[in-house]
Amino acid sequence: MRKLGTRRDPGRAVVTGGAGFLGSHLSEALLDDGWQVVCVDNFITGTPANVAPLAGVEGFELLRHDVTEPLHVPGPVDLVLHFASPASPVDYLQLPIETMRVGSLGTENALQLAGEKGARFILASTSEVYGDPQVHPQAEDYWGHVNPIGPRGVYDEAKRYGEALTTAYRSVHGVDTGIVRIFNTYGPRMRPQDGRAIPTFIRQALAGEPLTVAGDGSQTRSVCYVSDLVAGVLRMAGSEHPGPVNIGNPHERSVREIAEDVVAVTGSTSRIEHIERPVDDPQVRRPDTTLARELLGWSPQVRWHDGLQRTVEWFADVVVSRPA
Whole-structure pTM over 0.75, yes or no?
yes
Residue of 304, 302, 296 lying closest to 140 (CA atoms): 296
5: left (phi over 0), alpha (psi -120 to 50) or beta: left
Residue type at 239 in one-letter notation = S
CB atoms within 10 A of CB 3: 13
* Domain 12-186+225-249+286-302 belongs in CATH node 3.40.309.10: no
Among residues 155, 169, 186, 225, the one annotated as catalytic is: 155
Q: What single-letter amino acid sits at 202?
A: I
Q: Is 155 one of the catalytic residues?
A: yes
Residue 132 near residue 145, CB atoms below 8 Å: yes
Domain boundaries, the chain: 12-186+225-249+286-302
Nearest to 229 by CA among 295, 176, 298, 282: 298
pLDDT in tens, the chain (324 residues): 344 543 335 899 999 999 999 999 999 999 999 999 999 999 999 999 999 999 989 999 999 999 999 999 999 999 999 999 998 888 988 999 999 999 999 999 999 999 999 999 999 999 999 998 999 999 999 998 999 998 889 999 999 999 999 999 999 999 999 999 999 999 999 998 888 999 999 999 999 999 999 999 999 899 999 999 999 999 999 999 999 999 999 999 999 999 999 999 999 999 999 999 888 788 888 999 999 999 999 999 999 999 999 999 999 988 665 544
Determine the 3-state secondary structure of 37 from DSSP: strand
Whole-number Cα distances in Å, 199 to 4, 32, 35, 194, 202: 30, 26, 30, 7, 5
Q: How far apart are CA 297 and CA 134, in angstroms?
A: 28
Long-range contacts of 299-303 (CB under 8 A, 24+ apart): 300/224, 300/225, 300/228, 300/232, 300/248, 300/249, 300/250, 301/228, 301/231, 302/225, 302/227, 302/228
